[in-house]
A and B are shown apart, each in its own frame.
Chain A
Amino acid sequence: MNINTREEGGYAIIELIGEVDLSCSPVARKQILACLKAKQDLLVDLSAVTYIDSSGVASLVEGYQTAKKQNLKFGLIGVSDSAMSVLQLARLDKVFPIHANVEERLRADG
């Protein structure tokens, strides 16, 4: 897994690339929580995720809950088919705010 970070539209964007499994999900978790600790609204880009397991999903859930507690915005963008099928299996596709890209999220924010 590789991670790219950038800022766009007032959000920190964390792009996860490749397979997100137990060998690397702690790195993703750390990056997500660091952004939220810095009080940044956060979008996690899953467009280049080819595989995600329950440890990767747990990192996203922890980010979602941490953001909620801190009144920060959080969401997923560009969720790949592979990642979406896992989120659907966990019934989390209706829990996370999910948008196609940053622009769509910004429109939804109003």
Chain B
Amino acid sequence: MTEEHLLKLYFPANPDRLCLVRALVKRASEIAGCNSDLAEKLVLAVNEACMNVIQHAYKGDYSGEIVLEILNNDNRLLFRVKDYAAPIDLECVKHRDLDDIRPGGLGTFFIKEIMDECTMGHLEDGVGNYLEMIKKIR
């Protein structure tokens, strides 16, 4: 089993930085062998995960830090998003029913639709949260 660390990025929980994150995720996905269509979907999912951290974990505190790691483990891409905000209520993280047409509630749906596996939890030291998303690319 070979594991390749494609990216480790620390960035502030500021919406202005999302364009930079998207560019890096797209390039890292392409380097791992994803075609352009898949890379764009992965970009959308990771962007939504980071947005959720900005809006719901840090609640708009732009000084918070987000850590994004991308690893390629035998053509299973792992995207790990970590924050150091107060632990969120994991029961509250759910997407809306798609038939219930209203603004919001789509980000988590996009992530689940695009990725093959998603795991959320709290960091071990009691401060912070993580989301791990896996996509099989072969």
Assess whether B101 is interfacial by the CB under 8 Å rule: yes
Nearest-CB distance from B34 to chain A (Å)?
A: 15
Measured in the bound complex, the distance between the Cα atoms of B107 and A86 in whole Å is: 11
Assess whether A65 is interfacial by the CB under 8 Å rule: yes
Chain A residues near B103: list those with CB within 8 A.
58-59, 61-62, 65
Q: Is A54 a contact partner of B107 (Cβ separation < 8 A)?
A: yes
Nearest-CB distance from A104 to chain B (Å)?
A: 23
Interface string of B24-49 (1 = CB under 8 A from A): 00000000000000001101100110
Q: Is B48 a contact partner of A54 (Cβ separation < 8 A)?
A: yes
Chain B residues near A91: list those with CB within 8 A.
98
User: Which secondary structure dominates where chain B touches chain A?
Assistant: helix
Assess whether A89 is interfacial by the CB under 8 Å rule: yes
Interface string of A36-62 (1 = CB under 8 A from B): 000000000000000101110111011
Q: Is A89 a contact partner of B113 (Cβ separation < 8 A)?
A: yes
Nearest-CB distance from A61 to chain B (Å)?
A: 5
Chain A residues near B18: list those with CB within 8 A.
21-23, 53
Return the contact of B110 from the options A21, A59, A90 (Cβ within 8 A): A90
Measured in the bound complex, the distance between the Cα atoms of B47 and A90 in whole Å is: 15
Measured in the bound complex, the distance between the Cα atoms of B43 and A58 in whole Å is: 18
Assess whether A95 is interfacial by the CB under 8 Å rule: yes
Q: Is B51 a contact partner of A54 (Cβ separation < 8 A)?
A: yes
Return the contact of B106 from the options A57, A65, A85 (Cβ within 8 A): A57
List residues of chain A with CB under 8 Å of any chain B CB: 19, 21-23, 51, 53-55, 57-59, 61-62, 64-65, 82, 85-86, 89-92, 95
